[in-house]
Each structure stands twice: as C-alpha cells, then as structure tokens.
Amino acid sequence: MLKIENLHVSIEGKEILKGLSLDVKPGEIHAIMGPNGSGKSTLSSVIAGNEDYEVVKGNIFYNGENIEDLSADERANRGIFMSFQYPVAIPGITVTNFIKTAINSNLKARGEKEMPAGEMLKKIREKSKLLEIDSKFLSRSLNEGFSGGEKKRNEIFQMAMLEPNLAILDETDSGLDIDALKVVANGVNKLKNDDNAIVIPTYTKSVCSSPSYHFFYINILYLYAKNALFEIAENHILVHKLH
C-alpha cells in the first residue's frame, strides 16, 4: 500500500531524513520509534503532503502511484489520513459538523454525491457507539477546551468516520495517561482490518505495549544506523527504530 524508497527530506536547508525506506502492506500496523528530533513527525508530514518539507531524493508510492506531486487535499481524497500530534481547536464548529464537511468534501472530490443526512446520522451513531463516545461530545466545538485524551479520541473518531486506507497517527500517545492511552489503542484495534494500514510514529513503546495489543507479537531490534528504518518483524505490528 505504502512504499517509500531511499527518501531524503530537508526543511530550510537542513536534511532531516537521509535515505529512509519503508514498505507497508494492507492489514499491517507499523510503529515507527525514535527520540525527539529523529524525523518521525517529518516522515508523517511528508506522507500527508506538507509542502513545508522538500523531498530532495527518493520516492513515495501509495497504491502503486507516485504521490510526490499530489497536494495534501489530493492525498486525503485518495484515502490518506493523518492524526495530528497537536490538534487545532476550531471554536464554533462542532465535531459533528466538521466530520460531515470532511466526508462530503471527499465524496465531491471523487465525483460522488453528498451523503444523505439520514445515512450520515446513522454512521455517526454507529461509529460513536463503537468507540464509546457520548453524544454530548459530538456537539462540542472541535477541540475547544478538550483534554489531551479527548483530542486524541476525536482524532480516532475522525479516522472511523472517514475510513481511510492509510492512517498516519503522529505520536498519538504523546502526553496521554494510561486511561486515555487505552482509549486510543482500543480505537485503533477496532478500526484495523485486512484492507487498511496504520503507521504510528512514537518515541515510546507505550502505544505498542498497551494491553489492547496483547495479541500482537512485537520484537524490537536495535540497529544502530543513522536515519535508517528497518523492518524487524513479520507480524501484524512491525516495529522500526529511527535514530
């Protein structure tokens, strides 16, 4: 689904990623581990289409298509979703209205009709029930006054509603306590299937070692090579270390 070959990325003349390669197949969850400043968020941003970063060398293929020249909107419309490390608050726009707009924007970009109101409401109820989200939460302004856990829960709800083929959860465990972490891990488990893929850049093992992932075998291999990404386990969750 996602194939990255010898990727070199810089910002403001400073090279961040130096020859990174990665292969993510449908049905897999990849954890990208590394300390602050190692390039995890850079990788997330480049995959999502952030134009602040310059791809100096290498290729990014999504479903066999080189997406280097596609805008962030075009990538999103093709099924790439990114959960932000620090979600922005939008006062006056409810969680429900935001997700309605996002879904219909994607449908319009694909030349399809907007989702009927009844169908949208049914889907919102189904996904909120699946993720154990209270209906009052959906009527609040997007991320305004949200705790860290609520912001991440909202990101997982957006992922559930948009049903992306590829989800990038950028340091989704950052700043979360154990209860909030369980919410995120349970949400990821419930949304994973054989047709989608999830990439989780993180600086700790917390999201991978959550009890919700007990049925996955994780084997971490420390390979000391600067800015290299290594596949280290042929399992559902593949853990990599970025130095």
pLDDT tens, residue by residue, 91-145? 999 999 999 999 999 999 989 999 999 999 999 999 998 888 888 999 999 999 9
C-alpha 182/C-alpha 210 separation (Å) is 7
User: Dihedral sign, CA of 128, 132, 135, 139?
Assistant: negative
Cα 208 to Cα 18, 76, 112, distances in angstroms = 26, 26, 37
Q: How confident is the model at residue 213 (pLDDT cuts 50, 70, 90)?
A: very low
Q: Is the pTM of this model over 0.75?
A: yes
| Domains of the chain listed by start with CATH number | 2-241 (3.40.50.300)
Q: How confident is the model at residue 204 (pLDDT cuts 50, 70, 90)?
A: low
Whether 219 shows a pLDDT value over 50: the answer reads no
Cα 234 to Cα 142, 214, 216, 217, distances in angstroms = 38, 16, 11, 9
pLDDT value at residue 240: 53
